[in-house]
Structure 1
Amino acid sequence: MNGRHDAHAGLHSAEGARPGEHLGRAVNPVVKVVDLAWLEFEKPDLRRAEAFAHAFGFATASRTEAELQLRGTEPGSPCIRVRRAPRSRFLGPAFRAAERSDLKRLGDAVGSRVVALPESIGGMAVTLVDPSGLRVRVVCDTRELDALPAPPPLSLNFGERLTRINSTQRSPRAPARIQRLGHVVVQTTRYRQTLDWYLQYLGLIVSDFLFFPGQRDRGPVMSFIRCDQGSIPVDHHTLALTLGPSNRYVHSAFQVADLDTLAAGGEYLQDHGYRRSWGIGRHIQGSQIFDYWRDPDGFLVEHFSDGDMFDNTLEPGWAPMTASGLSQWGPPATRDFLGISPGPESLRELLSIFRAVGGNDNEFDLRRLFGLMKVART
């Protein structure tokens, strides 16, 4: 594997690629983005959105009648930008370029101009549209927010290795302070085309592929994708793509300090009437401790901690997609998390299934539908 070491130990993945399978990276990408910058949403009620955000652990970076910007404790740009609009929707992600010249090169490649961003955020951006129709910004030189005060790390005892003596551990039942944006997951009807687009234009690389049981010969249906910063370790995934009957937001994830912070923050959210979707547990792909919640507009958001960090030497792992394979430990994946609990969202997805399997402009055919149904049963 060209000197790269094996990534497929333990629970990372079932095995590596077979001859002829997807390499998980582009040979000569246009640019290599260095991270997610922020996510953009529209919502009708910014006060309600801000109230949940504070309970979830965000701080307000900026708020006007037209826009809400939410941040974590780490320095940098806001994690989320929410604009007031008649209905709720996810507009798309913004990725950070290493240099302003990358914006020009990317704009030339897709026929898009580099433009100045609003004064409230600063910097420059080029706007693209991926094959699913999702708007994607790549930004540079945005205004940097200073770090916020953060609690010191917990002092933990590990068996005979003692770091806390004559002192107690009392994690407050309080909002889990968000440190930073981790990743976003989106569903696409054109998975392979969309995957290759992100690898070619943004220089992302695949950490793990999942395939429907019994359908590996048809290729993967989900990929966990990270930025390529060479020898610098980065999150196991910054973006995850999954094949489905519609193009839609699935969830986004935000890092908190540790398990105690995550668990106590969940207690606080429950005390204030918010709805847990699934958790607490530890994932397999990415290894992070997770806890999923629904915001008042129905968007799925995740607290996570202790995720895997990879450099660019690891080749993609390959594993079958199963509901039971979503976690190493924790409660079974809920119907809400899987998107199959009764309600408007599952009804829209059901209607999308009928449209997708009856059309020929997407990759979600009848056999893929059977594969997805098998996943839900496992």
Structure 2
Amino acid sequence: MSTHHTHNGLHSEQGALTGEHPGRSTNPVIKVRDLAWLEFEKPELEGAEAFAHAFGFATSYKDVDELHLRGTRAGSPAVIIRKGARSRFTGPAFLAADDRDLPRLADHLGATVSALPENLGGLTVDTREPSGARVRVVSGCRQLTALPGQAPLIHNFGSNIVRKNRTQRPPREPAKVERLGHVVLQTTRYRETLDWYLENLGLIVSDFLYYDGQRAKGPTMSFIRCDRGSELTDHHTLAVTLGPRNRYVHSAYQVADLDSLATGGEFLKEAGYQRSWGIGRHIQGSQIFDYWRDDNGFLVEHFTDGDMFDNSLEPGWAPMTASGLAQWGPPASADFLGIRPGRESLAELRSMFSALRKSDNEFDMARLRGLLKVANS
């Protein structure tokens, strides 16, 4: 395998220094192909479904205890919500590249291959990564057929006129979700969790971020993609970041284009939902983004026009700053950064003191100073 060793003109201005994390395992147990779905629990499914439809999902299955939400592309559902006593993220499911990967992974982890419920079909290996999140690797699941999608608008660019004698009037309606793109997780054991995903699931790092002035201590966030060889895949399917507690940060769902993202946002705003941050364009991954809070306060993202990489690019390295989260758009909001006064920011503050008192995590005083510097950047 050949890799690009220069980052000028690629996705990052900097590559790794000698001795830094290579961003991939030399001999992973398996290589997953994609995220299959995300699983949540919520006390009430009606409100969850109402937000989901406003956000652009379709319902593929529903009973009194369970709700499956899908995008327009063929495949598995994107989100599964089960009725529970409280709202919580219960974990991601990854799609195995080959049915034979499940027994190989199960044998390596000391786990078992078991059947998924009838409404999903197929098999799963259920395990836990170092920060405690349940991870499923699945195969052979029932495939949903494609639904009608939202066609991207035809644009005139400069002197290249392709839309003649026609106006642009995109309807103000939910932006149809096409597919699940990625999930971001925070962990107190960042390096151990990162290596677990690389070594067991064969994921590879696209970009590392480090706290300004602390590069020698190692990265504190990684944007991680699937290794499909020469086949292009999303810049990141998973992102892992160091923090004072283990938690879900956000998940992202692809829509057709900027207009569907923007008009979908107007629809959500008129329906009374809260925009967290947007519209803008990220640096790592390059996606045009728009972040929203769902009916239970979970952060979810519409995105379009993201970077697609094969396995030849090595990781980029950059300092983590709030201003470095976007190329253009409004400044990152206090809500998005988790510093808006409220229940979540109080929980994060309490967890900082708790993490500093313990020795079984990577969140020490130096990391706290780095995190506070990010929030003020």
TM-score normalised by length of structure 1: 0.99
Deviation of 1:153 after TM superposition, in Å, equals 2.6
Q: Indicate the residue corresponding to 1:173 in structure 2.
A: 172
Kindly report the root-mean-square deviation, in angstroms, between the aligned alpha carbons of the 2 structures.
Answer: 0.9
Aligned: 1:344 with 2:343: yes
Structure 2 unpaired stretches of 5+:
none
Correspondence for 1:291: 290
Q: 1:5 deviation in Å?
A: 2.1
After TM superposition, give the deviation of residue 79 of structure 1 in Å: 0.2
1:54-203 matched pairs, under 5 angstroms: 54-203=53-202
- Report the AA paired with residue 79 of structure 1: A
Change (3 A) 1:7 1:73: farther
SS of the residue 1:119 aligns to? coil
Counterpart amino acid of residue 321 in structure 2:
T
Superposition map of 1:263-342 within 5 A: 263-342=262-341
**Is the Cα contact below 8 Å between 2:235 and 2:309 reproduced in 1?**
yes
Is 11-20 or 262-271 further displaced after alignment?
A: 11-20
For structure 1, the 5+ residue unaligned runs are none
Quote the offset at 1:10 in angstroms.
4.8
Runs of 4+ in 1 over 3 A off after TM superposition: none
1:3 Cα deviation from its structure 2 partner: 3.7
* Distance (Å, rounded) in 2 between the aligned partners of 1:224 and 1:6: 18
Q: Is the 8 A contact 1:7 1:316 kept in 2?
A: no
Whether the 8 Å CA contact 2:151–2:256 is kept in 1: the answer is: no
Identity among equivalent positions (%) equals: 67
Give, in whole Å, the separation in 1 of the partners of 2:277 and 2:9: 24
Corresponding letter in the other structure for 2:223: F
Contact 2:31 2:97 in 1 (8 A): yes
CA contact (8 A) 1:68 1:82 kept: yes
Matched residues in 1 for 2:131 and 2:237: separation? 18
Kindly report which structure 2 residues correspond to 1:185-224, keeping only aligned pairs within 5 A, or say none.
185-224=184-223
Alignment length, in residue pairs?
A: 377
Is residue 253 from structure 1 mapped to residue 229 from structure 2 by the alignment? no
Query: For residues 287 and 44 of structure 1, what CA distance do their matches in structure 2 show?
Result: 35
Residue of structure 1 in register with 2:28 after alignment:
29
**2:277 alignment partner AA:** W
Q: Secondary structure at the match of 1:100?
A: coil
Partner-residue secondary structure (3-state), 2:32: coil
Contact 1:40 1:80 in 2 (8 A): yes
TM-score by length of 2: 0.99
2:359 aligns with: 360
Answer whether contact 1:7 1:317 (CA < 8 A) is retained: no
The residue aligned with 2:225 is 226
Summarize deviations over 1:296-324 as a string: whole Å, max 9, x none.
10100000000000000000000000000
